[in-house]
């Protein structure tokens, strides 16, 4: 359930019909030594927050009034930088003592809601549940660093490869009810393997990125087909409407939470890594992935240095602590996440808690250096496990 701040952000976005959802990066807060700090805004959504298109050779400014979640108001600036080597929009000018652009908020989610080009609402969400809830409520998914919610622009699901789109349509046409998360994951994997000739030659990091992105497309297609009768029927009363909406929202949340687990399990299986998914150990504890197996874990004679536990978390700003009490025989834990950046202070805390991260390679640049924590690529982790168990 979303917090009070999360609920306000969702309500404001739904009321306005437009929002930019963006994970705060090290570059945003000025930790990379580049240009002035300020929130980078995606060019593909420029029409939502700026009157000026991204024209090469020009710099253009607009001056929105931004109301933040704590009630403070900033007379800010949205600048299009199109001269020289730059090609980006940034939101800057927040005044002295501004609390929402510091090193500690790296990895938090900026929710920017333009009422119009002159007035914005803005929220910084730092709780995993809030970050999940708003994506579900707006029916968007952040697969890299940002997502755009624009109710006036209905996205037509189509893949870069017509083969993928054709196979997805064929899968959806046969549906009368929702498949399991495993069936969604399998359909996505089989489609990509059949339609992308080089798919098996991609690194594990690249394959995971493709699988997560494309499965979301497939789910949206299925949701539109299956849910259509539910949302177009005549509701008996408000309670009936709310119950239907709740069912749809909970289904979205369930899929988002499980799809990454299924894809990681498939990647490990294809790499020949032995593991058990959600095994019961130490009473009723069920870690996401236990390597090589529950049988090995409960065997006191099995070498502890060949045991690994992996928590699979789409975001892990606070949920990372959940793995600390899992698999007591394994003091060093691993977390595989798609979180685009985490603050240095949190990384220090994870390191001191004996945790290593597994992060797809394309997201590594979003993480600060010098914290001492081990951040592996998916490919690196698979190679390490293969070496240990060869």
Give residue-wise pLDDT tens across range 107-123. 999 999 999 999 999 99
Total structural domains within the chain: 3
Q: Is residue 14 part of a domain?
A: yes
Q: Quote the pLDDT of residue 31.
A: 81
Residues 12 and 66 in one domain: yes
Q: How confident is the model at residue 158 (pLDDT cuts 50, 70, 90)?
A: very low
Report how far residue 212's alpha carbon sits from residue 217's, in angstroms, rounded to the nearest whole number.
9
Count CB-CB contacts under 10 A for residue 175. Answer: 13
Q: Output the pTM of the full model.
A: 0.74
Residues 381 and 256 in one domain: no
Which phi-psi region, left, alpha or beta, contains residue 368 (left: φ > 0; alpha: ψ -120 to 50)?
beta
Query: Tell me: the pLDDT tens digits for 58-73?
Result: 999 999 999 999 999 9
Report how far residue 48's alpha carbon sits from residue 113's, in angstroms, rounded to the nearest whole number.
9
Residues 9 and 145 in one domain: yes
Q: Quote the pLDDT of residue 299.
A: 96
Residues 21 and 78 in one domain: yes
Token reading at 203? 């690194």
Token reading at 98? 């501004």
Q: Quote the pLDDT of residue 35.
A: 55
The stretch 226-250 carries a mean pLDDT of 77
Domain that holds residue 103: 4-150
What average pLDDT does the chain have?
A: 90
Q: Which domain CATH number covers 320?
A: 3.40.91.80
Token reading at 312? 């699979």
Report how far residue 324's alpha carbon sits from residue 288's, in angstroms, rounded to the nearest whole number.
13
Q: Quote the pLDDT of residue 153.
A: 66
Residues 183 and 264 in one domain: yes
Q: Which domain CATH number covers 92?
A: 2.40.330.10
Q: How confident is the model at residue 34 (pLDDT cuts 50, 70, 90)?
A: low
Q: Is residue 237 part of a domain?
A: yes
Q: How confident is the model at residue 144 (pLDDT cuts 50, 70, 90)?
A: confident
Q: How confident is the model at residue 142 (pLDDT cuts 50, 70, 90)?
A: confident
Asked if pLDDT for residue 143 goes beyond 90, the answer is no
Cα distances from 102 to residues 32, 43, 349, 377, in angstroms, run 13, 24, 18, 27
| The three-state (H, E, C) secondary structure of 327-363, written as one string | CCCCCCEEEEECCCCCCHHHHHHHHHCCEEEECCHHH
Portion of the chain with pLDDT greater than 90, in percent: 68
Q: How confident is the model at residue 156 (pLDDT cuts 50, 70, 90)?
A: very low
Query: Tell me: the pLDDT tens digits for 347-378?
Result: 999 999 999 999 999 999 999 988 999 999 99
């Amino acid at each position: 359930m979303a917090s009070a701040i999360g609920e306000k952000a969702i309500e404001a976005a739904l009321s306005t019909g437009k929002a930019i959802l963006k994970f705060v990066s090290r570059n945003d807060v000025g930790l990379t030594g580049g240009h002035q700090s300020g929130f980078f805004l995606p060019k593909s959504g420029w029409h939502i927050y700026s009157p000026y298109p991204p024209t090469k050779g020009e710099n253009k400014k607009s001056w929105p009034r931004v109301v933040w979640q704590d009630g403070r108001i900033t007379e800010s600036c949205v600048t299009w930088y199109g001269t020289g080597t730059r090609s980006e929009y940034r939101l800057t000018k927040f005044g002295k003592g501004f609390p929402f652009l510091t090193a500690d908020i790296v990895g938090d989610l900026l929710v920017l809601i333009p009422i119009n080009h002159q007035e914005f609402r803005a929220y910084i969400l730092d709780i995993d549940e809030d970050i999940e809830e708003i994506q579900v409520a707006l029916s968007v998914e952040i697969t890299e660093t940002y997502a755009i919610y624009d109710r006036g622009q209905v996205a037509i699901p189509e893949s870069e490869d017509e083969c993928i789109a054709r196979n997805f349509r064929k899968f959806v046409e046969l549906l009368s009810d929702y498949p399991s998360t495993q069936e969604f994951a399998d359909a996505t994997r089989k489609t990509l393997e059949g339609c992308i000739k080089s798919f098996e030659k991609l690194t594990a990091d690249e394959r995971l990125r493709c699988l997560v992105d494309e499965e979301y497309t497939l789910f949206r297609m299925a949701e539109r087909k299956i849910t259509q009768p539910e949302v177009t029927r005549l509701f008996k009363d408000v309670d009936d409407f709310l119950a239907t909406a709740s069912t749809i929202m909970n289904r979205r949340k369930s899929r988002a939470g499980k799809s990454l687990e299924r894809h990681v399990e498939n990647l490990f299986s294809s790499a020949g890594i032995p593991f058990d998914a959600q095994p019961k150990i130490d009473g009723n504890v069920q870690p996401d992935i236990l390597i090589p197996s529950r049988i090995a874990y409960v065997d006191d004679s099995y070498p502890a240095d060949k045991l690994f536990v992996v928590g699979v978390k789409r975001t892990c700003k606070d949920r990372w602590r959940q793995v600390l009490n899992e698999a007591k025989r394994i003091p060093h834990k691993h977390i595989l996440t798609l979180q685009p950046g985490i603050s240095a202070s949190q990384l220090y805390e994870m390191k001191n808690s004996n945790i290593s991260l597994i992060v797809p390679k394309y997201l590594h640049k979003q993480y600060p250096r010098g914290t001492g924590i081990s951040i592996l690529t998916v490919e690196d982790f698979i190679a390490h496990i293969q070496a240990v168990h060869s």
